[in-house]
Amino acid sequence: MMKIDLHSHTHVSDGALSPLELVARAKANGVNVLSITDHDTVGAYEDLASYSDDVLTLVPGIEFSTQWRGVGVHVVGLNLTLDNAVLKSGVASQEKARSERAELITERLIKARLPIDFKRVEEIANGSNIGRPHFAQHLVELGKVKNMAAAFKKYLGAGKAGDVKQCWAELPQIVEWIVAAGGTAVLAHPLKYKMTRTKLSALLDAFSEAGGRGMEVVSGHQTKDETNVLSRLCVDKDLLGSCGSDFHQPSHWSEIGSMSAFPEVCEPVWSNWGLSA
């Protein structure tokens, strides 16, 4: 049985490992199929342009940020043609939006009387797209919070001062970029949005109407009940199922390749990629 992980991050966005380090760790953990889905960028694949391996197959991917009814949501694009002009334009647009968002987050946190040094945040990001985890790390350095989780809970999480969503492209636009690049649009970690069953069902309907074809039925470690809820939704909405660890760094969130079992009732998103799980 193949081990498939279609959601992971490198230091090109908010992960800890380089693309080559992530691939090596995935191989060591027995992963056969891997997608690097950095936030709003495919820059990791530049470091892997000459990568070829008989053991581990790379599926080009990305995780786009967007919003729906005021809620920040993420859409993973899988099996992309990376040199597609529409995708490149979309990535450039999101990178510009991410830069503008970083400035807004800085302004809001300063207004909340936090001594944010944007240059230091840029140093922490170290050339990658700036995201909330970089602000969280800065707040820890400043001694304003004990850890990054506390930074999100107090300042950066949903509804807090540093939660900025209005910069992103709309959901249909995001899906259009993915489809234009020959990819499959997948709604990432549906349970993370903490929606009611009715609202999540409505989101999936809107996502499908926009051209979305899949949803993550497994995101890291889940309870059996959580997987059952998502697998039923996946089948009811006639969507393809996907899975991923959402790996960012060792011992954080989930280990690369370490996830709950994929539910057999769902048709996998990789079913037409010539792979078998």
Domains contained in the chain, CATH given: 4-91+167-272 (3.20.20.140), 99-156 (1.10.150.650)
Choose among 166, 165, 230, 243: nearest CA to 200. 230
Q: What local confidence, expressed as pLDDT, does residue 277 receive?
A: 46
Question: Is the pLDDT at 194 greater than 80, yes or no?
Answer: yes
DSSP 187: E
- Looking at the chain, the whole-number percentage of residues with pLDDT higher than 90 is 83
Task: Give whole-number Cα distances, 202 to 11, 141, 210, 230, 264, in Å.
Answer: 34, 40, 12, 14, 24
- Give the start-end residues of each E strand in the chain: 4-5, 33-34, 57-58, 61-68, 71-78, 184-187, 214-219, 240-244
Question: Is pLDDT above 90 for 1?
Answer: no
Nearest to 102 by CA among 141, 70, 69, 128: 128
Q: List beta partners, residue 218.
A: 243
Residue 253 binned pLDDT confidence (cut-offs 50, 70, 90):
low
Query: Considering the chain, what is the average pLDDT of its residues?
Result: 94
Would you place residue 252 in the very low, low, confident or very high pLDDT band (cuts 50, 70, 90)? low
> pLDDT tens-digit profile of 106-132?
999 999 999 999 999 999 988 888 889
Question: What's phi and psi for 172, nearest 5 deg?
Answer: -60, -35
Q: Kindly state the tokens that stand for 45.
A: 């694949």
Q: Give strand pairing partners of 240.
A: 214
